[in-house]
Structure 1
Amino acid sequence: MGKYHELAKKIVANVGGKENINSLTHCITRLRFKLKDEGQAKDDILKNMDGVVTVMKSGGQYQVVIGNHVPAVFEDVVEIAGITNEGAEDSSDQGIFNRLIDIISSVFQPFLGALAASGMIKGINALLVATGVLTTTSGTYQMLNGIGDALFYFMPIAVAVAAAKKFKFNQYVGLAIGAALVYPSLQLDAFSAAGEPIMTLFDGSLFASPVYTTFLGIPLVATNYTSSVVPAIFVVWIASKFQKVVRKALPELLHAFFVPFFVLLLSVPLGFLVIGPVISLLTNLLAGGFDALMNFSPLLFGLVLGTVWQVLVIFGLHWSVIPIAMIQLSTLGYSTLVGTFGASFAQTAAVFAMYFKLKNPKEKALVIPAVISGICGVTEPAIYGLSLPKKKPFIFSMIGGGISGAFMAAMGVRSYNMGGLGVFGFPSYVNTETGDMSGMIYALIAVAIASVIGFTLTFFFWKDDTVEEPIRETATIAKETIETPLQGTIAPLSLAKDEAFSQGALGKGVLIYPEKGEVVAPFDGTVMTLFPTKHAIGLVSEGGLELLIHIGLDTVQLDGKYFEAHVLQGEHVKKGQKLVTFDIEAIQNAGYSVETPIIVTNAEDYLDILENQEKAVATGDELITALI
């Protein structure tokens, strides 16, 4: 049982239970659910839950924003929900764009930490060479270079394994596909070093492709797949389709060996002959297109990218930029998508300025953790908890991010690896080939620009309009009493067989095992909700207390059978007035429990909810006291 076990239980219950979860992944700050029915998730309860920053719906995902400790929460959620790598097949109806974002985020999330760590090691190694601490011929440099470069060089293997998990495909077969794509003798460099091409397809055109060998008489267009990203995703996707066909065609007895055999035999040659060359051509064009756009107007390019970056983060769409950067790195050796770097610092500085203007002590207490997180490149706590709800600080941070992005792009800054986030990203701008540190210096200036703009605009042009609530004096505490609506035996709500009730997700209250099938009004008030199946009734007292009386568990499936309502929805009722009658014996004979949760659904509006500790109660007895 992990540290966040209770939080995980509440999250699972409020996304609709484990039966409503198709799959779950996580990124740096978010749990990313794929739900069967998002309508079953209780957004308001999740948003107001301690330990949850907010809830977002984007890219076909139901995202519960947690913060930096999301990996630990993820582990507890996985355990409670019983989620495995072979999760239910995703059947949600997604558009192409949502599907693409979902695939990208799912593929990169598992090894993003290792990717950032590798980039940091490469950047630090380059920094040590640039400052003369190391030489490129020293053993220390070679070791650090190998550690930092390994994941980038063998990128198709990591991508293929993660893609296999996403596509519900055998991950070890995925590993074999990725390894085949980086097999040394099948790379363009190896073929060209061995001799001249036997022919050139599309000679004289933009699509000219040298051919050095054939496979079963079919020309093999060679390219270098080391450090590539997209080909592995597509080959594994095709392989996952082959796997389904082969499984159906072969007896189950032969699946263990012959399914991987035929899948590899079909998918890998197809990858080298068709998928790889086509995808490589398209990615080269895409990378070149971004480079051309950058060259056309670097300032405008950086301005737009830096301005909208935090908006992309809100919706989780920033994942769409990562493959583009990876494509540029693998084809050009650098990335021009540098305009986003200052945005997180602008956001962090704006939130830091808020510290001096906030009136609410609880909000002010959130600032320092959010600033620390932002300095490390994770801005979701700052965005959702502080700047976005206040609006203007978020806009000011966008301005700072845009201007810093325009500066970096105008100065021709390039990143040379996928380094760490926040302050850990500076070494990424050191040229790993030449040791040139000018890019890192410009990055430092850009961060200063972003931070000064974000802080200054927020400090001088934002005012906290929050009205401070007066502190209640103890002497003013009042109470509202709820009488017992039905006769029976009391038990703690935590003993309810339904987790939504037992975990307190719907509110505070008690459980009654009824001895008489009659529900009466526990106070003077109004029938707020009367379910058509008559198994549940919601009341609101004249003092504003909201009460749910839920007769039995899963009794909604009886469709009103064995229940009779004596009031109408919207009707005003008096204390003791008959509301609903039901046949206890018939309901139990039908296989349903009659245990009845009685819940104060707006318990958060009260100082405390006190429950009757007696074991047996009759209608008219005091059941619950709400302190106002």
Structure 2
Amino acid sequence: MNHREIAEELVTKLGGKNNVISAAHCATRLRLVIEDESQIDKNAIEELDGVKGAFSSSGQFQIIFGTGTVNKVYQHFAPIVGVSMEENNSNKSESHGDSAKRKMNPLARFARTLSNIFVPIIPAIVAAGMLMGLLGLVKTYNWVDPESGLFVMLDMFSSAAFIILPILIGFSAAKEFGANGYLGAVIGGIMIHPNLLNPWGLSNAEPTTLDFFGFGVEMLGYQGTVIPVLLTVFIMAQIEKGLRKVIPHVIDLLVTPFLTVIFTGFVALLVIGPLGRMLGNGITTILDVVYNSAGPIAGLLFGGLYSTIVLTGVHHSFHAIEAELLNVGGNYLLPIWAMANVAQGGATLAVFFKTKNSKTKEIALPAAVSTFLGITEPAIFGVNLKYRRPFIGAAIGGALGGAYVVFTQVMANGIGLTGIPQFAIVQDPINYGIGFIIAVVGAFISTLLLGWKEESK
């Protein structure tokens, strides 16, 4: 494979270097913001050596090369279109993200913003979720005395991420909103201050009410909450930006943070925090009603439709809802999403076994494996959506698996992980595994029964 020739041909088939606004790459895909996508010869691009699929999503035209290949192609592609490797890793990646956002519709842009806030936090929540799963096993099988020092310390480790979640969100959200990340963390810290009663340990205790100039402020903390801190930090970002416009530069370092924290602190505890708590409680209550009343039917619908939602990019906003659900016993949405994802792998496996097209076989097998590890784009855009009916077969498998995990009330202790990695954070690995098999086999059989039109090439 000549990576330089591929890069040169790619530029031509994209409509020339002037048609490429910005470029970046992830582990498997070249991500491009294009001026005019009508100039792209998509079919010709998909025939290039090493290309496993191409699609347009979230304001970007994305070309799947796979791990190890994409970075080698990018090394030659970047200089041709005027992007340096250093820029891709720092400032250019930020401008690339801004360019991509400008190409999105408002709903997709909102979803992408939430995704950018939560993706950096996922490792902390995953670690906490895995520790919770380990503690659950320890407690169920009496491996360790719950009063022992080991158990108590592990319990502290597992709950820490959720207790300081507002600080983590505050820092990440402030950066995404263009404000000072550390001021965002301070606002998160105010919302979980020790003087505020921790709702996690509320039990029968009643929070005190503070008299603030005749206005009663309930001294209840926001440990583990999501929406209140998101709204508050958004307001904080607007306050900080507004102050920087009017405060002289010579005193900006002293005055702007001082006033930002004061104004935002009052807004957080008096207005936005309580409203955000009501909104978060309302969302989780509605979801609980649907989950408990519709039961497997809800899983059938969500599992069947999730991959279609992925095509719109709106699924990026679900992280915030899932994080909110962790406060009410567990994340019951993530196992449903996982069923939809692995079903895409089942459909792609069916294509692999039946197709006579050698290039499709080359793409399908690694794409199927990647879905079982939680990465679905190669399967969806490189295979299933291309032939259409396999995508429908995957929806059927996802619906069946979704119905089963809801019926057995499978829940997760975290967010972000699907497929095989989710076994580490689910509360019921056995039923999750059964749902996994149902989704994959259901998608595999459905795809074979539906069939698809085989390409002559």
- Give the TM-score of the pair, scaled to structure 2: 0.81
What residue identity is the alignment partner of 1:122? M
Aligned partner of 1:225 in structure 2 is 222
1:110 aligns with 2:107: no
- Alpha carbons 2:125, 2:414 under 8 Å: kept: no
- Alpha carbons 2:330, 2:413 under 8 Å: kept: yes
- Alpha carbons 2:336, 2:402 under 8 Å: kept: yes
What residue identity is the alignment partner of 1:103? T
2:60 alignment partner, one of 42, 59, 62: 62
Shift of 1:371: 2.4
- Alpha carbons 1:8, 1:80 under 8 Å: kept: no
Give the Cα–Cα distance (whole angstroms) in 1 for the partners of residues 251 and 398 of structure 2.
57
Give the Cα–Cα distance (whole angstroms) in 1 for the partners of residues 240 and 25 of structure 2.
23
Aligned partner of 1:153 in structure 2 is 163
Q: Please list, as runs of the form range in 1=range in 2, the aligned pairs for 1:78-97 lying within 5 A after superposition.
A: 79-80=86-87, 83=91, 92=102, 96-97=106-107
Aligned partner of 1:360 in structure 2 is 357
Aligned partner of 1:559 in structure 2 is none
What is the aligned-residue RMSD (CA, Å)? 3.9
Give the Cα–Cα distance (whole angstroms) in 2 for the partners of residues 393 and 151 of structure 1.
40
Q: Please list, as runs of the form range in 1=range in 2, the aligned pairs for 1:446-461 lying within 5 A after superposition.
A: 446-461=435-450
Aligned residues: 437
Shift of 1:42: 5.8
Give the 3 Å change call, closer, same or farther, for CA 359–324 of structure 1 in structure 2.
same
Shift of 1:190: 10
Give the Cα–Cα distance (whole angstroms) in 1 for the partners of residues 118 and 250 of structure 2.
35
Give the 3 Å change call, closer, same or farther, for CA 247–461 of structure 1 in structure 2.
closer
| Identity of matched residues, % | 27
TM-superposition CA deviations, 1:259-282 (whole Å, max 9, x none): 111111111221111101001011
Shift of 1:56: 2.1
- Alpha carbons 1:388, 1:394 under 8 Å: kept: yes
Shift of 1:398: 0.5
Give the 3 Å change call, closer, same or farther, for CA 327–261 of structure 1 in structure 2.
same
- Alpha carbons 1:86, 1:168 under 8 Å: kept: no
Q: Please list, as runs of the form range in 1=range in 2, the aligned pairs for 1:121-140 lying within 5 A after superposition.
A: 121-140=131-150
Give the Cα–Cα distance (whole angstroms) in 2 for the partners of residues 174 and 10 of structure 1.
45
- Alpha carbons 2:20, 2:35 under 8 Å: kept: no
Aligned partner of 2:431 in structure 1 is 442
Give the Cα–Cα distance (whole angstroms) in 1 for the partners of residues 303 and 66 of structure 2.
23
Give the Cα–Cα distance (whole angstroms) in 1 for the partners of residues 320 and 65 of structure 2.
24
Give the 3 Å change call, closer, same or farther, for CA 112–44 of structure 1 in structure 2.
farther
What residue identity is the alignment partner of 1:229? V
What residue identity is the alignment partner of 2:307? Q
1:318 alignment partner, one of 315, 320, 330: 315
Taking CA–CA contacts closer than 8 Å with sequence separation of 6 or more, which of the two structures ends up with the larger relative contact order? 2
- Alpha carbons 1:123, 1:417 under 8 Å: kept: no
Shift of 1:92: 3.9
- Alpha carbons 1:30, 1:66 under 8 Å: kept: yes
TM-superposition CA deviations, 1:414-450 (whole Å, max 9, x none): 33433632112124332xxxxxxxx332222211211
Residue 241 of structure 1 aligns to a residue whose secondary structure is: helix
TM-superposition CA deviations, 1:153-203 (whole Å, max 9, x none): 211122112211211111121121222222222235599799866xxxxxx
Give the Cα–Cα distance (whole angstroms) in 2 for the partners of residues 154 and 8 of structure 1.
45
Give the 3 Å change call, closer, same or farther, for CA 16–355 of structure 1 in structure 2.
same
Q: Please list, as runs of the form range in 1=range in 2, the aligned pairs for 1:304-453 lying within 5 A after superposition.
A: 304-330=301-327, 332-337=328-333, 338-418=335-415, 420-430=417-427, 439-453=428-442
Aligned partner of 1:240 in structure 2 is 237
Residue 332 of structure 2 aligns to a residue whose secondary structure is: coil
Give the Cα–Cα distance (whole angstroms) in 1 for the partners of residues 193 and 55 of structure 2.
43
Aligned partner of 1:164 in structure 2 is 174
TM-superposition CA deviations, 1:84-107 (whole Å, max 9, x none): 698597894875523421321221
TM-superposition CA deviations, 1:311-349 (whole Å, max 9, x none): 12233222222222211212x122332422322222112
Give the 3 Å change call, closer, same or farther, for CA 226–196 of structure 1 in structure 2.
closer
Give the Cα–Cα distance (whole angstroms) in 2 for the partners of residues 66 and 143 of structure 1.
44
Give the Cα–Cα distance (whole angstroms) in 2 for the partners of residues 85 and 257 of structure 1.
31
Higher fraction of strand? 1
- Alpha carbons 1:350, 1:393 under 8 Å: kept: yes
Structure showing greater Rg: 1
Residue 111 of structure 2 aligns to a residue whose secondary structure is: helix
1:299 aligns with 2:296: yes
Give the Cα–Cα distance (whole angstroms) in 2 for the partners of residues 11 and 187 of structure 1.
58
Residue 224 of structure 2 aligns to a residue whose secondary structure is: coil
Give the Cα–Cα distance (whole angstroms) in 2 for the partners of residues 443 and 68 of structure 1.
28
Give the Cα–Cα distance (whole angstroms) in 2 for the partners of residues 360 and 140 of structure 1.
56
Aligned partner of 2:456 in structure 1 is 467
Higher fraction of helix? 2
Give the Cα–Cα distance (whole angstroms) in 2 for the partners of residues 459 and 324 of structure 1.
35
Give the Cα–Cα distance (whole angstroms) in 2 for the partners of residues 166 and 12 of structure 1.
31
Name stretches of at least 5 consecutive residues in structure 1 with no aligned partner.
198-210, 431-438, 469-628
Give the 3 Å change call, closer, same or farther, for CA 303–67 of structure 1 in structure 2.
farther
